[in-house]
Amino acid sequence: MALDLNTLWFALIAVLFIGFFVLEGFDFGVGILLPFLAHDDTERRRVIATIGPVWDGNEVWVLTAGGAIFAAFPHWYATLFSGFYLALFLMLAAMIVRGVAFEFRSKDKHPAWRATWDWLIFTGSAIPALLWGVAFGNLLKGVPIDATKTYVGGFFNLLGPYALVAGLASLAAFTTHGAIYLNLKSDDPIRTRALQAVRRVGPVATVLIGLFVVATYAWTDAFARLGVNPGLVPLAAVGVMAAAGVFVHRGSMGWAFVMTCLTLVFTTATIFMSLYPRVMVSSLNAEWSLTIYNASSTPYTLKVMSIVALIFVPVVLAYQAWTYWIFRRRVGAHTTLEY
């Protein structure tokens, strides 16, 4: 891997998506579990309160990743957002509805009003959790891109078997991640129900992630590109997910949460390692694939962006770490509920 600004920004975008999936992943999981683990309005408010102070900050990671793609690799941005337009629109609409639901559910005490917003939180969490996996599965498997860097397929080209396996794996992984987080951040009875959810969904997530790794080696060129030794990274994704189950069995939920975080880290790293130096694979002709070189901005633009990132990224990281420290306590009967 050559050490240049193109590679640096490809790696930074990978880090941004890793941060987004680790942090927003448990947000999605909590939203998916909301209607099933909370049995009355007070319990639902407590569930939402576990992510209430942090969910919007977690979404900043994907906004920054999108901005970085636009500035560093404009041809990637143009092809991605034109070809995946409908899928990305559905994802964006779901995330907008989810954010609105967090703010609006408490504006009226009528049960029907609050129940409607609760199910919109579920929908706005489940759709992106599925579609993010589908999107990255398509990036890796390949989509119809012609010689002019234009996507020439349709919406249903994005729903192949491999992409759907990736989507189901991300949905199950985020749900498990959120259940463990909810166990760590809440008191009984939600804490106990979250543990039961982990024990039910966790094995499914492990199997689906394993299936995704196998499918990646069978249906993409990942094996040829990664070889045997770097192939330990995707295998580690399955291994740490299985280790999470061991820690859950032992009652070490903090370590289980670390393992699901590492699962998302290794899985996302596998995708970006398999892509490099490409950013979108053409299924029509390998030479028409977009790379970090034919899709990039000018060297001067990348240089200026690097200076700006060097200054502001540590500030953002420090602020987000401070936020999690301030809101580190469990949510229980003592907590003032605003949602």
Q: Distance between CA 149 and CA 78 in Å, rounded?
A: 9
Whichever domain contains 186, its CATH number is: 1.20.1630.10
Number of neighbours of residue 228 by Cβ within 10 angstroms: 7
Please compute the mean of the pLDDT values over residues 154-174 and round it to a whole number.
92
Does residue 338 lie in a domain region? no
What pLDDT, on the 0 to 100 scale, is given for residue 3? 60
| Confidence class for position 334, pLDDT limits 50, 70, 90 | low
Q: Distance between CA 227 and CA 45 in Å, rounded?
A: 48
What pLDDT, on the 0 to 100 scale, is given for residue 28? 96
For the segment 244-259, what is each residue's pLDDT rounded down to a tens digit?
999 999 999 999 999 9
What pLDDT, on the 0 to 100 scale, is given for residue 167? 96
| Confidence class for position 52, pLDDT limits 50, 70, 90 | confident
Does residue 125 lie in a domain region? yes
Structure tokens at 154: 């349709």
Which residue is associated with the tokens 């959810």?
A: 197
Helix 111-141 to helix 41-49 angle (10° resolution) is 40
The residues facing 290 across adjacent strands are 280
Please compute the mean of the pLDDT values over residues 184-191 and round it to a whole number.
92
DSSP 216: H
For the segment 194-236, what is each residue's pLDDT rounded down to a tens digit?
999 999 999 999 999 989 988 988 888 876 766 555 467 778 8
How many percent of the chain have pLDDT more than 70?
94
Structure tokens at 225: 């590109």
Q: Distance between CA 59 and CA 63 in Å, rounded?
A: 7
Q: Whose CA is closest to 78, among 306, 298, 290? A: 290
For the segment 76-110, what is each residue's pLDDT rounded down to a tens digit?
999 999 888 888 999 999 999 999 999 899 888 89
C-alpha pair distances (Å), 322 with each of 20, 46, 52, 53, 337:
17, 22, 15, 12, 21
What pLDDT, on the 0 to 100 scale, is given for residue 158? 87
Does residue 86 lie in a domain region? yes
Spatial contact of 84 and 138, defined as CB atoms under 8 Å apart: yes
- Identify the domain containing residue 162 by its residue range: 5-326
Structure tokens at 42: 């007070």
Summary count for the chain: helices (H), strands (E): 12, 2
User: Number of structural domains, the chain?
Assistant: 1
C-alpha pair distances (Å), 124 with each of 7, 26, 120, 129:
33, 13, 6, 9
Q: Inform me whether the pLDDT recorded for 1 exceeds 60.
A: no
DSSP string covering 164-209: HHHHHHHHHHHHHHHHHHHHHHB-TTHHHHHHHHHHHHHHHHHHHH
Number of neighbours of residue 225 by Cβ within 10 angstroms: 14
Structure tokens at 257: 């949460």
Q: Identify the three-state secondary structure at position 278.
A: strand
Q: Distance between CA 183 and CA 151 in Å, rounded?
A: 43
DSSP 331: B
Does residue 337 lie in a domain region? no
What pLDDT, on the 0 to 100 scale, is given for residue 2? 46
The residue ranking higher by pLDDT, 3 or 127, is 127
Q: Whose CA is closest to 44, among 120, 157, 97, 96? A: 120
The residue ranking higher by pLDDT, 223 or 282, is 282
Spatial contact of 163 and 140, defined as CB atoms under 8 Å apart: no
User: Cβ neighbours of residue 330 under 8 Å, at least 6 residues apart?
Assistant: 184, 185, 186, 187
Does residue 334 lie in a domain region? no
What pLDDT, on the 0 to 100 scale, is given for residue 228? 52
